[in-house]
Structure 1
């Protein structure tokens, strides 16, 4: 599938209704298969490929949304121990080290692109999250 085909519906996330009792939508752009039981070296190699895919996706999204911000989520992760961090930010900080971030001002939302690879017991995922919750 070409990147244009893969991201053809991404703009729809800006206007799509959120699921009940959530203030965000998560689109799984890619998910690994079987990496939770693989050799750690294979997981590291695969994570590198997912991060390369994130860079490619960010370039594609930047064509329509402009240049993204880039933020680390480590401080948010640390803050979850002592503060109530709203979702999806608390969950993202536990699964991703850093993300690209676009403010979709026309929709009053944020788009967040990152690789969930911090938990070795989970598959690696390239995720795009759209939320109306401001970054903490």
Structure 2
């Protein structure tokens, strides 16, 4: 997927109907789109994972530049602190799940959509594939 296709997928997240969240009203859920994913890197060596992580971070950063021009700048959001908070408080989805998968994200409140958009590299679990993720939710971050 090239950058134009990734941006189109993110644009679609802004307007695609959201599912219900665990028995809640329609539109209370979230969507997660995998923009890139490794195949066969699950449990791979640290050097191969490091190279892929760097490449996916570069993809994320290139998307960040384009989205910052559209929605304004976004500082990196440390998901380690969100993950730590899950031990003592209930963090709503999709934020708790994102914190279990990624270490940082860029985050925007997409203008005129009522949705939050996050962009992250899911690389926390060495036993899983590395993924470049975009998510959309009406739930404000904690």
Q: Does TM-score exceed 0.5, indicating one fold?
A: yes
2:131 corresponds in structure 1 to 125
Number of aligned residue pairs: 136
Deviations 1:84-135 (A, max 9, x none): 1100000111111111011114111110000000000110000000111111
1:109 corresponds in structure 2 to 115
1:135 corresponds in structure 2 to 141
Within 5 Å, give how 1:9-88 maps onto structure 2: 9-21=9-21, 23-88=29-94
1:7 corresponds in structure 2 to 7
Partner secondary structure for residue 76 of structure 2: strand
Deviations 1:46-79 (A, max 9, x none): 1111111111111122233232232101111011
Taking only aligned residues, the RMSD between alpha carbons, in angstroms, comes to 1.6
- Counterparts of 2:37 and 2:8, CA distance in 1: 19
1:92 aligns with 2:98: yes
- Counterparts of 1:80 and 1:40, CA distance in 2: 27
